[in-house]
Each structure stands twice: as C-alpha cells, then as structure tokens.
C-alpha cells in the first residue's frame, strides 16, 4: 500500500463560507480519493493562506482570485512585495465572493463611513485589501476611519452590539456571519454603484460588478449593487500531479459526488460548474488540474 499524502486545506473564519466548503472538500477527498488524507483548518483568510502555502504549512487552500494573483506576482499586498508565492497553483474556481458592506442604518453610503468604526477583516484576510480599495474609491483611507480587525465572528458580534458602525466582508452570499447580524439587528447594505464599480475595475481588473440579490438576508428587501471577486481552490505546486488529478476526477467532478458536494452551501449549488472551473483563475493551473480538465473536456486557458 502506498503511503498516504496528507493535505491540510486552509480556509477562513468558521462563520465564513470558506470553512464549511473546505470541510466539504476534505470529506470528499477522504471518502473518494485513495491514499490521500485531507483536513480543513480555520485561518485568517486569503493572505494568511498564501503565506502558509509558501511556508509549506498548507498544501491546499481557498483564496480570493485577486489575492492569489497578487501573491503569485508579489504585488499590492505588503506581505507579498518582493516575495512572490511562486508555488501557488490554481485548481478550480468555486463561486463569486461579493464585497458586502453592512452598516448601521444611519449610514447611507460608503462615503458616510468617514470617522466611523469599521471592521475591515481579519489579520491575513483578503477582506482588508478590498475594504481599503473600496474606501479609496470614495476618497477615504484607513486614516479616515477607526479600523477594527479580527475574525468575522467578532466583527458580526461587534456590529450586533453597536460597538462598531459597519463591517466589510468579502464572502459568498449567505455567509453565517452576516446572517447572524441580520437575524437580530437592523442594518443597511451599502452599495458600490455601477459607475464606481467601473472605476474600480479599471484599476483592479479582478473585480466584477455584481449585486447582492434581494432577500439574500433577513430584512434586505432590495438588490444591492456591489463588486465581487472569485473564490478559488488552490494548491502548492509540490503536490504531485496525480494527487490533484484524483482530487478533481474522483472527488469534486465525479458524477454523483459533485451533486453531494454542492449541497454544502447555496453558493456552490448556484455557481459551482465543471465548465466554469477554469474561468477567472488568473494564476497558472496545477499541471494535475490541466490533465484532469483535458480528460473531462473542459477548455484550459493558455
């Protein structure tokens, strides 16, 4: 019997979407892929995951597409400057992550966050980058707000308790953290208008204009214009090709198994599609993923 390959999958806060999805990926691997043992770990988020892959502490992770690009090229995020994460490889695009800005109802716009206490993500999150870039779009910097960092669970708690004024959270729609807030607290979802989205995309092409559909959360009766990035499943280039091939062919995209996997979260049910798994990845795909997609008949971008 071959010695098993152990894979730790980095995710995010337990009340985000990454964590339940990573737990699901690990289960799928353990049940269906021979000689591979996987487990999911709760982490600070995208930036932390990229740095942990670099150090060899993680072998797979879920990560925002923008952060994956910055990591691979050593750009934008301070921790990556001059230290590109060259071993980072794409495995599959999972679902869009919308930058959701939830505020107490007195605040009517992102410009109105000036002078307020604002949660901008966990240490090592991708959220923080999105928060900074969107604040800048409205002429604000971190200096114009009181920035609060910590797990998404903490952010949600603080907003519920009225100890902060707003929360940025880049995550799949229906994240437990935001659900928790709207269950008990009256909030207003701040929008990024189509014009502002255009301006942002010009500068940072990883964003797409999307909306938070009406009734995604309790009390959120109208659609909210917003911007989004893509959640990616990524891996270290030192995972053997046949392991990644098996993860995709016998796990995520095996007929019958995919149907079970997508039941984990409404985002997967709506968005996780074999034909779109290579779209918006932005970093080189793992050679094992390329081999699997070729066999599965999915076009692989050059």
Catalog residues that contact ligand GLU under the rule CB under 6 A.
Answer: 12-13, 16-18, 45-46, 64, 97, 121, 125-127, 170-171, 175
What is the rounded CA–CA span in Å between residue 70 and residue 273? 25
71 vs 127, beta carbon nearer ligand GLU? 127
Instruction: CB nearer to ligand GLU: give 46 or 250.
Output: 46
Please name which of 213, 105, 125, 232 lies closest in space to residue 168, comparing C-alpha atoms.
125
Closer to ligand GLU by CB, 113 or 171: give it.
171
Q: Least CB distance from residue 194 to ligand GLU, whole Å?
A: 23
Cβ at position 124, least distance to ligand GLU in Å? 8
Q: How far is the CB of 182 from ligand GLU (least distance, A)?
A: 17
Burial zone of 84 (CB within 10 Å; 0-12 exposed, 13-18 middle, 19+ buried):
middle
Instruction: Return the number of the residue (175 or 236) whose C-beta is nearest ligand GLU.
Output: 175
Output 8 or 13, the one with its CB closest to ligand GLU: 13
The CB-of-97 to ligand GLU minimum distance in angstroms stands at: 5
The span from the CA of 47 to the CA of 64, in Å, is 9
Kindly state the smallest distance separating residue 282's Cβ from ligand GLU, in Å: 15
| Range 140-144, long-range pairs (CB < 8 A, 24+ positions) | 140/110, 140/111, 140/113, 140/114, 144/113, 144/114, 144/115
CA 255 to chain CA centroid, nearest Å: 25
Q: How far is the CB of 162 from ligand GLU (least distance, A)?
A: 24
Please, which residue, 89 or 254, has the CB nearer to ligand GLU?
A: 89
Q: Write down the H helix ranges in the chain.
A: 18-32, 46-55, 65-73, 127-137, 152-160, 176-184, 194-203, 241-246, 257-262, 266-271, 287-296
Nearer to ligand GLU among residue 45 and residue 251 (C-beta): 45
Q: How many CA atoms lie less than 13 Å away from 22 in the CB half-sphere?
A: 33
Among 71, 50, 130, 64, which residue's Cα sits nearest to residue 93? 64
Region of residue 280 (phi > 0: left; psi between -120 and 50: alpha; otherwise: beta): left
CB of 154 to ligand GLU, least distance (A): 13
Q: Is the Cβ of residue 7 or residue 173 nearer to ligand GLU in the bound state?
A: 173
**Measured from the CB of residue 250, what is the shortest distance to ligand GLU in angstroms?**
25
Q: Which two tokens stand for residue 261?
A: 């996997």
What single-letter DSSP state applies at residue 284? P
The Cα–Cα gap between 83 and 72 comes to 9
């Amino acid at each position: 019997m071959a010695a098993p390959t152990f894979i730790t999958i980095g995710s995010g806060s337990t009340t985000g979407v990454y964590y339940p999805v990573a737990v699901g990926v690990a289960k799928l691997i353990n049940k269906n892929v021979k000689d591979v043992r996987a487990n999911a770990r709760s982490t600070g988020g995208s930036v932390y995951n990229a740095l942990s892959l670099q150090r060899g502490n993680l072998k797979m992770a879920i990560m925002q597409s923008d952060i994956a690009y910055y990591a691979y090229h050593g750009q934008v995020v301070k921790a990556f400057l001059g230290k590109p994460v060259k071993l980072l490889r794409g495995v599959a695009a999972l679902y869009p992550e919308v930058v959701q800005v939830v505020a107490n109802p007195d605040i009517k716009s992102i410009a109105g966050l000036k002078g307020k206490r604002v949660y901008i993500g966990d240490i090592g999150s991708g959220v923080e980058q999105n928060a900074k870039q969107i604040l800048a779009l409205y002429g604000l910097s971190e200096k114009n707000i009181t920035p609060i960092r910590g797990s998404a669970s903490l952010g949600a708690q603080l907003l519920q308790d009225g100890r902060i004024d707003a929360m940025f959270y880049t995550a799949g729609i229906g994240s437990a953290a935001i659900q928790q807030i709207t269950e008990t607290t009256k909030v207003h979802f701040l929008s990024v208008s189509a014009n502002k989205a255009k301006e942002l995309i010009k500068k940072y092409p990883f964003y797409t204009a999307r909306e938070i559909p009406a009734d995604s959360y309790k009390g959120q009766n109208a659609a909210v214009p917003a911007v989004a990035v893509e959640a990616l499943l990524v891996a270290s280039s030192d995972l053997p090709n046949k392991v990644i091939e098996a993860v995709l062919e016998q796990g995520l995209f095996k007929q019958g198994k995919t149907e079970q996997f997508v039941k984990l979260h409404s985002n997967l049910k709506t968005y996780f599609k074999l034909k779109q798994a290579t779209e918006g990845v932005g970093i080189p795909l793992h050679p094992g993923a390329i081999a699997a997609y070729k066999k599965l008949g999915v076009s692989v971008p050059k």
